[in-house]
Amino acid sequence: MLRKTVWSISLSLCLLCYFGFERSYADENQYVRSDIALQQAIETCRLIKIDRERLFCFDQLFDTPITLNKNAFLPALPNDFDRRPSAWKSAWNAEKTRETKQDLLSEPTSFWSTQTHFDSYKALYLTQQIDDLGLLVFSCINNISRVEVMLDKPLQDGIVPVVIHGATPIHKNWLLDDSGYILRDGRGLSSIETMRGLIGQTQFELMINDRHYIIPLENFSSQVDGLKKMCHWR
């Protein structure tokens, strides 16, 4: 009887050891496979040449959020941002994507195009900040060309005389939206005429309500090609 009991205990211990070893071996293999898959995913991200897309790949892999560089030149958004017009917010949100180190170093005063930073889009923006005024926006939205200024502070007059000094001076009356925060050229042909007049220029002077703003046009001639293609004009 004693021998039978000892034999049963020994058999139980052997089975426990065996299955424990099998489980440890399986777990170890699982960890090895997971580690190999992770290394392959990391290598895939490393091979991406575009900085923003490579950063996005790593963020997706490690489930970390993309955050703005705290040292960026972008101003803080106003406290009443949520109450601004939707078009105003959309343009500023496009501008906020200037967040990688390369973007900040290479394009602090040039036009920022959303075309090269999003794989698919229904709207295309070219944006540039203007000190003491707001955000200058050239865009194609729903196949309509637009030239607008998203103002830091609202204006009161419904019609604002504007002079654009490019190759030849362009005199226009731009309209304010109901909020006073968006100053815009006429949509479509009028905006296309404005953009055409700036192609090939190095800078232009924008005069609004007798105030002059000098705006560099670095990268504009090449960036505007995306707008031309999307809104079907030459």
Query: Which pLDDT tens digit goes with each residue over 116-165?
Result: 454 445 788 888 888 889 999 999 988 899 999 999 999 887 889 999 88
Give yes or no: residues 33 and 91 share one domain: no
Q: What is the mean pLDDT of residues 106-120?
A: 57
pLDDT classification of 49: cutoffs 50, 70, 90: low
CATH number (domain holding residue 216): 2.60.40
Please count the residues of the chain.
234
pLDDT tens across 82-101, in order?
778 888 988 888 787 765 44
Q: What 3-state class would DSSP assign to 234?
A: coil
Q: Is residue 60 part of a domain?
A: no
Give yes or no: residues 27 and 85 share one domain: no
What does pLDDT average to over the chain? 73
Q: And the tokens for 131?
A: 């000190």
Q: Is residue 43 part of a domain?
A: yes
Q: Is residue 74 part of a domain?
A: no
pLDDT score at 170: 87
Give yes or no: residues 31 and 142 share one domain: no
Q: What 3-state class would DSSP assign to 162?
A: strand
- How far CA 75 is from CA of 37, 72, 117, 216, in Å, comes to 41, 8, 21, 19
pLDDT classification of 102: cutoffs 50, 70, 90: very low
Distance CA 116, CA 100 (A): 13
pLDDT at 67 over 60: no
Closest C-alpha to 116, from 135, 102, 134: 102
pTM of the model: 0.61
Count other C-beta atoms under 10 Å from residue 151's C-beta: 21
The per-residue DSSP string of 67-125 comes to: ---TT-SPPPPPTTGGGS-HHHHHHHHHHTT--SHHHHHH-SSS-EEGGGG-SS-SEEE
Q: What is the mean pLDDT of residues 206-220?
A: 86
Higher-pLDDT residue of 195 and 15 is: 195
Higher-pLDDT residue of 146 and 63 is: 146
pLDDT score at 137: 94
pLDDT classification of 25: cutoffs 50, 70, 90: very low
Higher-pLDDT residue of 130 and 62 is: 130
Give yes or no: residues 211 and 106 share one domain: yes
Higher-pLDDT residue of 37 and 219 is: 219
Distance of CA 115 to the CA centre of its chain: 9
Distance of CA 212 to the CA centre of its chain: 29
Structural domain range at position 170: 81-231
What SS3 string covers 152-185? Answer: CCCCCCCEEEEEEECCCEEEEEEEECCCCCEEEC
Distance CA 212, CA 135 (A): 15
Q: Is residue 112 part of a domain?
A: yes
Give yes or no: residues 152 and 40 share one domain: no
Q: What is the mean pLDDT of residues 57-84?
A: 55
| Structural domain total, the chain | 2
pLDDT score at 99: 57
Q: Is residue 87 part of a domain?
A: yes
Higher-pLDDT residue of 148 and 170 is: 148
Q: And the tokens for 56?
A: 């996005």
Higher-pLDDT residue of 19 and 164 is: 164
Q: Is residue 189 part of a domain?
A: yes
pLDDT score at 124: 87
- What residues are paired with 213 via a beta bridge? 206
Give yes or no: residues 97 and 40 share one domain: no
Give yes or no: residues 102 and 166 share one domain: yes
Q: Is residue 58 part of a domain?
A: no
Q: Is residue 54 part of a domain?
A: no
Count other C-beta atoms under 10 Å from residue 23's C-beta: 10
